[in-house]
C-alpha cells in the first residue's frame, strides 16, 4: 500500500475491531460510500426495493443497524423460490451466481464483493466458505467480523480520499487477513486481466482462444475449469459490475449503456435488473449522494467517458 503524504494510517485488523470511531446517524448522507477496484467492492448505501439479484462475486452483507433479512436460492438452477425461507442476521454470505433477496428495516446496508477469480475458494475464511445465507451470531468471529466491517466503514468514510487503498490492505482491514489468491493458468490469467481492465470490449471467446493459441472448445473448457464459471457468464458479470463506476454520472442512460458495452438500452436494462435486482434508473437514483472511491483501469475509463459527455 502506497500512502500519500500525511495520509492517515490504515487501521489494523485489531484496531478496526477495538478502536472507538465517531459514527454518524445512519440517516446522515455522509455514510454513503463505495470503494472499488478490479478485485473488491465495498458498498455502504441505500438498499432500495430490490427484487431477486444474481451477482458474480462472493457477497458479504453486514447490517449497519437493524438486522438484515435474506433469502437464498439455488445457484445450480438459478432460481429463488416464490415462497423462500427468510433468515434474520447481522452477517450473511452469498456465493457467486446465487440468486437471492435482501431486505432491511434500515435504508442503509453494507456489502463487500470479492471477485471469485482472485481468491482460492478452499482457503476463504470459514464464515464465508461454510455458509450460504445467514451466518449464526454465535459462529466464531461472526460478531468480531461485523464490528470490524462497521469500524472500517467509518474509517473509510472519514479517510477514504486520503489513502491509496490496495487489495491486500483492503482484505486486512475488512477481513482481518489477506485472502489467498487463486492459482490460474497464465493464459487464462491474461484473458481475465483484459476483461477486468476493459469490460466494455466486445471480445469474443473465439478471439480469446486464438490469442492464447487454443482451440475454441479447449479454451472454453479450460476457462471454466480455472475460473469456476463459463466465459459468457463472467463477461456478463464484469460488464454489469463496471456500471458501478458510472452510477454518479449525470448522463443519459442510453449513453451509459453504450459506454459500458451494451448494444442497446433493452439489453442493458434486462442485464442490470437481473444482476442487481433494480432497474438502471433506480440504481442511479439511489446513488446520487454516494461517494465513490478507488482506482482501476475500468474506473479511469469511466472517468474518460464522463468527460466526453
DSSP letters, 163-203, are S---HHHHHHHHHSSPPPPPP--HHHHHHHHHHHH-TT---
pLDDT at 1: 38
Q: What is the pLDDT of residues 268-277, one digit of tens each?
A: 999 999 999 9
Burial of 5 (0-12, 13-18, 19+ CB in 10 A): exposed
Q: Rounded to whole angstroms, how far apart are CA atoms 70 and 156?
A: 26
* Model pLDDT for residues 209-254, shown as the tens digit of each residue: 999 999 999 999 999 999 999 999 999 999 999 999 999 988 799 9
Q: For residue 224, give the C-alpha cell.
A: 471454466
What separation in angstroms does the CA of 24 have from each of 48, 124, 278? 20, 31, 27
- Residue 163 has a pLDDT of 80
Helix (H, G, I), strand (E, B) or coil at 44: strand
- Rounded Cα distance between 129 and 216, Å, is 32
pLDDT at 303: 64
Please give the Cα distance from 207 to 55 (Å, whole number). 25
Residues 6+ apart with CB under 8 A from 188: 212, 222, 223, 226, 227
- Looking at residue 290, its pLDDT comes to 94
* Strands ordered across the beta sheet of 68-72: 87-89, 68-72, 100-104
| pLDDT for 23 | 66
Q: Which residues of the chain have pLDDT under 50?
A: 1-7, 13-14, 16-19
pLDDT computed for residue 182 by the predictor: 97
Residue 158, all three cell numbers? 472519514
Q: What value, to the nearest 5°, has the Cα angle with vertex 232 and ends 227 and 233?
A: 65
- Nearest CA-CA partner of 231 in 247, 245, 214, 244: 214
Question: Degrees (nearest 5) of the Cα angle 119, 271, 47?
Answer: 75
Number of CB atoms found within 10 A of residue 269's CB: 16
Whole-angstrom distance, CA of residue 290 vs CA of residue 284 = 10
pTM, full prediction? 0.90
Report the relative pairing of strands 58-62 and 87-89 from DSSP bridges.
Answer: unpaired
Reduced to 3 states (helix: H, G, I; strand: E, B; else coil), residue 53 is strand
Amino acid at each position: 500500500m502506497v500512502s500519500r503524504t500525511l495520509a492517515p494510517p490504515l487501521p489494523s485488523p485489531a484496531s478496526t475491531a477495538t478502536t472507538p470511531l465517531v459514527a454518524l446517524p445512519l440517516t446522515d448522507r455522509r455514510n454513503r460510500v463505495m470503494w472499488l477496484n478490479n478485485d473488491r467492492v465495498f458498498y455502504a448505501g441505500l438498499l432500495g426495493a430490490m427484487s431477486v439479484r444474481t451477482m458474480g462475486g462472493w457477497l458479504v452483507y453486514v447490517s449497519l443497524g437493524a438486522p438484515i433479512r435474506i433469502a437464498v436460492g439455488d445457484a445450480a438452477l438459478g432460481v429463488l423460490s416464490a415462497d423462500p425461507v427468510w433468515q434474520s442476521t447481522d452477517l450473511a454470505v452469498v456465493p457467486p451466481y446465487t440468486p437471492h433477496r435482501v431486505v432491511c428495516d434500515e435504508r442503509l446496508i453494507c456489502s463487500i464483493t470479492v471477485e471469485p477469480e482472485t481468491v482460492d475458494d478452499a482457503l476463504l475464511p470459514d464464515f464465508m466458505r461454510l455458509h450460504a445465507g445467514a451466518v449464526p451470531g454465535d459462529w466464531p468471529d461472526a460478531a468480531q467480523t461485523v464490528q470490524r466491517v462497521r469500524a472500517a466503514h467509518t474509517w473509510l468514510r472519514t479517510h477514504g480520499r486520503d489513502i491509496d487503498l490496495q487489495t491486500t490492505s483492503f482484505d486486512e482491514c475488512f477481513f482481518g487477513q489477506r485472502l489467498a489468491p487463486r492459482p490460474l493458468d497464465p493464459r487464462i490469467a491474461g484473458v481475465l486481466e483484459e476483461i477486468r481492465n476493459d469490460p466494455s470490449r466486445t471480445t469474443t471467446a473465439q478471439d480469446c482462444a486464438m490469442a492464447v493459441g487454443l482451440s475454441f472448445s479447449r479454451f472454453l473448457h479450460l476457462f471454466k475449469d480455472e475460473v469456476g464459471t463459463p466465459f459468457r457468464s463472467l463477461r456478463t458479470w464484469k460488464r454489469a459490475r463496471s456500471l458501478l463506476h458510472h452510477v454518479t454520472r449525470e448522463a443519459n442512460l442510453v449513453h451509459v449503456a453504450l459506454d459500458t458495452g451494451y448494444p442497446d438500452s433493452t439489453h442493458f436494462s434486462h442485464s442490470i435488473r437481473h444482476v442487481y435486482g433494480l432497474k438502471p434508473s433506480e440504481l442511479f437514483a439511489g446513488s446520487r449522494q454516494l461517494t465513490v472511491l478507488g482506482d482501476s483501469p475500468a474506473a479511469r475509463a469511466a472517468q474518460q467517458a464522463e468527460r466526453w459527455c
